[in-house]
Chains A and B, each alone.
Chain A
Amino acid sequence: DTGVSQDPRHKITKRGQNVTFRCDPISEHNRLYWYRQTLGQGPEFLTYFQNEAQLEKSRLLSDRFSAERPKGSFSTLEIQRTEQGDSAMYLCASSLESTGGLRNEQFFGPGTRLTVL
């Protein structure tokens, strides 16, 4: 399977603990996105990488959140001191920048479901 993969698929943690999620994009995709989806809503943008550079962060991404893409391939999203409000599905998407940047079809992974008790 050459699609976007995410690990773990499910994570249950206690309030105050740190968690880290991993995303492996489609090979050769230079753009990587993180989104968060709460129940009954569409995904909301969190942050964006072009290769290894983090170029944009949403105001949704508090100081407790940090994302990396150290070699321009896989990415990690860490949440420190988790709160119950962090419970959500965390989705990763990747895309290949086209010539002229006019087409950017994003392909999503299966997501990581986080539950904070």
Chain B
Amino acid sequence: GQQLNQSPQSMFIQEGEDVSMNCTSSSIFNTWLWYKQDPGEGPVLLIALYKAGELTSNGRLTAQFGITRKDSFLNISASIPSDVGIYFCAGQTIQGAQKLVFGQGTRLTINP
């Protein structure tokens, strides 16, 4: 099925470092969402973006909806151990089922 291109696939960083990941698509989306998933659990919604160019923050997390509506990025500042997990981007259109199309995920590992 259709998937978004998410990069990097994995990151190994030191605690306190900033993190940046992004997502691109060949299709336009009306909404971009970022989720975090811990092992054996479902994805947890972090940030939702609704307008091209929108920049939204949630604590140490900042995400942007690309101008072309075909990309988004997520930044995490001053990483802490509980940031470990897999981060997924998801695109959504406003037509029909409004189902989510997910990227492959970015696995974040933090060395204390």
Contacts and interface: CB of A to CB of B under 8 A. Distances in A.
Interface of A: 4, 6, 31, 33, 35, 40-45, 48, 55-56, 58, 60, 91, 93, 95, 101-111, 113
Interface of B: 1, 3-4, 6, 30-31, 33, 35, 40-45, 48, 50, 88, 90, 92, 94, 96-105
A56 B42 contact: no
Contacts of A102: 30, 50, 94
Contact of B97 (A44, A48, A107, A111): A48
Given A105-B33, A105-B48, A110-B42, A43 B102 contact: yes
Nearest to B96: A56
Given A56-B97, A101-B94, A109-B42, A45 B104 contact: no
Contacts of A56: 96-97, 99
A56 B95 CA distance: 12
B105 A42 contact: yes
A106 B94 contact: no
Contacts of B90: 42
Contact of B99 (A4, A48, A103, A111): A48
A66 to B, nearest CB: 18
